[in-house]
Chain A
Amino acid sequence: MTAPVLVFAWGNPSRGDDALGPRFAEAIEALALPGVECLTDFQLQVEHALDLKGRQRVLFVDASLSASTPFQVSPVQPARDASFTSHAMSPAAVLQTYRDVEGESPPPAWQLAIRGEAWELGAEPSTQALAHLAAALRWAEEWLATETIA
């Protein structure tokens, strides 16, 4: 049975703070919350639209250079934006793809952007970024425990 809540995180675990997304998913998965499924990938891709089917809500998670410190949460609506490079498909574009290929509205979705600073190959996430991750996880535990989102 499809879990009603999907946490979809992306990033390259070998590139410094880009690992924040996958680390977030690992931490949430370790909590073994009922009804919550975590998926990770290097980047958002077109087939991820199919992972949204049957969900009640979705949380997209990525590291961000421009988000507020320590993290930023915003609702995402389907949109035909210009994010059609192969490694930068946006959550909004994934939602729009879902709408186009499934012929129905996608589940409500939010984007959690965790502030990162450095993307060096082979580097561990920075201390500051890990503190941002910890704050984001505290917020997410509460969010995931909430059945109805206002």
Chain B
Amino acid sequence: MSFELETAPATAQNLRRVAIDPVSRVEGHGKVTILLDDQHRVHQVRLHIVEFRGFERFIQGRPYWEVPVMVQRLCGICPVSHHLAASKALDLVVGVDKLTPTAEKLRRLMHYGQILQSHALNFFHLSSPDLLFGFDAEVGKRNIIGVAEAHPDIAKKGILLRKFGQEVIRVTAGKRVHGTGSVPGGVNRSLTREERDLLLKDIYQMVAWSRDAVNIIKQLHQQNPALYDHFGTFRSNFMGLVAPDGSLDLYHGALRARDADGKILFDQVDYQTYNQLITEEVKPWSYMKFPFLNLLGPEEGWYKVGPLARVQNCDSIPTPFAEHERKELVAYAGHKPLHATLAYHWARMIEMLFAAETIKDLLHDDDLEGHDLMAPAGERRREGVGVIEAPRGTLFHHYQVADNDLVTMANLIVSTTNNNQAMNTAVREVAKQYLDGREITEGLLNHIEVAIRAFDPCLSCATHALGQMPLEVSLVDAEGTVIDRVCRDQGGVQHLS
């Protein structure tokens, strides 16, 4: 697991630079730079994350009870994951080690609603245009509107799956956005019978559509294994939470990691000790850190998280349809870890099915209408770590709180940071496979973006303003002179020089 193509060799001369800035159809801002020589040979590829780094300081000095609501403003795509990870960390600060059954089930319902809507967004909205039309298809077609036009049934299912997930969040969190449902020590509302019935009315359809979605991506894999098995494929360790029995649990568990061959590196490790397991390495060319497992060191210890890691890290999935699909994926891979980057989509749809089935089971549980919402506060602690399997992977929230209730330290390792090295490696593999020695075209550059989108990175932006999201590709010679610029924005694609 080397860092090939991370830095161009000093002997390479007269390189020109291609930048994809920002990467489109990911959440937030990312940039890819590629150094090429005169023969279009690739010498260096880097995914840079233009990530805002001020949120941890923003939290410091605030009362701890504000934090679960405040952290939702990190991002518009996964606010619930931050809401719940912060709540879990602060449960410990208020001395609560075990929630009431009603509180835990409501939080689980909220979380699986988030998984459902987020996975539906990634697959149907962001990635299916590439998968259904091809990576080189006309750029104007490669979007959800193109899918809606060509496959209206698929587009509508995607929208309604996402809408359903948002409804689950609304009824559990109290509001469509910036909900306050989860608080340190429990929740502040339960479901009414009407709310349960509202969701129960549609959940069987959601399970059926999730099964359809798994079939779509499974068939794409099986029909074109040459592409799906090899596109951006690389070997790595993988890590995530598992339940005490080794099954998949996205809300709570202990840490397990495996090596690239599937051998367990550690298992059932309490995540309160995460900073003894993981170190975040800083590299001078990126704002985002590069975490690695201390056990293996920075060269060998980087890992991937998220759907493909989780579905292969667990021993089973506790819902029947998703477990059936997990077994099919494992069999397809020959009972060895599947490292194909595009298999993230397959695993993501298995998880979406798992989320839909879990929501269905929870909705039949009368505890959701219970009134025992808060666990009794125990002995106050000054520190807590909360970890959750967010849609994109393992999410760490760590807080220290002073006796005056103000947060003195906050450390967040978001899923996309955990996948930083893995995403960089994926784009280098794609650059080697598809770009090396060829004239660069928009379609070829989209191959790079396809690899990044497979990880569904969430780059924590959440700021937007009209007309601020163009994609600009610049060709720059060794002297820094711009040879060509192509701009893709809301007005379409145009050559600027």
Residues of A within 8 A of B (CB): 10-15, 18, 39-43, 45-47, 49-50, 62-67, 80-88, 90, 93, 96-97, 100-101, 103, 113, 116, 119, 121-122
Indicate if the CB atoms of B27 and A84 lie closer than 8 Å. no
Quote the shortest CB–CB distance from A48 to chain B (angstroms): 9
The answer to whether B375 has its CB under 8 Å from any CB of chain A is no
Could you list 4 further interchain pairs (A-B, Cβ under 8 angstroms) beyond the known A47-B160, A82-B143? A43-B76, A50-B160, A81-B491, A121-B54
The winner among A83, A88, A116, A122 for most chain B CB atoms within 10 A is A88
Quote the shortest CB–CB distance from A94 to chain B (angstroms): 10
Chain B 449-492 interface mask (CB, 8 Å, partner A; 1/0): 00000000000011111111100000000000000000011111
The answer to whether B196 has its CB under 8 Å from any CB of chain A is no
Give A64 to B25 CA distance when docked, in angstroms: 21
Quote the shortest CB–CB distance from A26 to chain B (angstroms): 12
Indicate if the CB atoms of B28 and A65 lie closer than 8 Å. no
The answer to whether B58 has its CB under 8 Å from any CB of chain A is yes
Give A9 to B76 CA distance when docked, in angstroms: 14
The answer to whether B356 has its CB under 8 Å from any CB of chain A is no
Indicate if the CB atoms of B77 and A82 lie closer than 8 Å. no
Measured between beta carbons, the chain A residues less than 8 angstroms from B489 are: 82
Measured between beta carbons, the chain A residues less than 8 angstroms from B324 are: none
Indicate if the CB atoms of B152 and A100 lie closer than 8 Å. yes
**Which DSSP category, helix, strand, loop or mixed, fits chain A's interface?**
loop
Give A113 to B159 CA distance when docked, in angstroms: 26
Indicate if the CB atoms of B176 and A45 lie closer than 8 Å. no
Indicate if the CB atoms of B25 and A86 lie closer than 8 Å. yes
When the two chains form the complex, which single residue of A40, A49, A87 contacts B159, counting CB atoms closer than 8 Å?
A49
Indicate if the CB atoms of A82 and B491 lie closer than 8 Å. yes
Quote the shortest CB–CB distance from B48 to chain A (angstroms): 17
Chain B 223-258 residues near chain A, CB threshold 8 A: none
Indicate if the CB atoms of B491 and A116 lie closer than 8 Å. no
Indicate if the CB atoms of A18 and B121 lie closer than 8 Å. no
The answer to whether B41 has its CB under 8 Å from any CB of chain A is no
Quote the shortest CB–CB distance from A24 to chain B (angstroms): 14
When the two chains form the complex, which single residue of A65, A82, A101 contacts B139, counting CB atoms closer than 8 Å?
A82
Quote the shortest CB–CB distance from B311 to chain A (angstroms): 23
B148: nearest residue on chain A (CB-CB)?
A100
Assuming A46-B158, A97-B144, A100-B152, is B465 touching A63 (CB within 8 A)?
yes
Give A65 to B166 CA distance when docked, in angstroms: 29
- Can you report 23 residue pairs joining A to B where beta carbons are below 8 Å apart? A14-B58, A15-B462, A18-B463, A18-B464, A41-B176, A42-B177, A43-B462, A45-B121, A46-B121, A46-B159, A46-B162, A47-B166, A64-B466, A82-B140, A82-B143, A84-B145, A85-B25, A86-B27, A87-B464, A88-B464, A88-B469, A101-B152, A121-B54
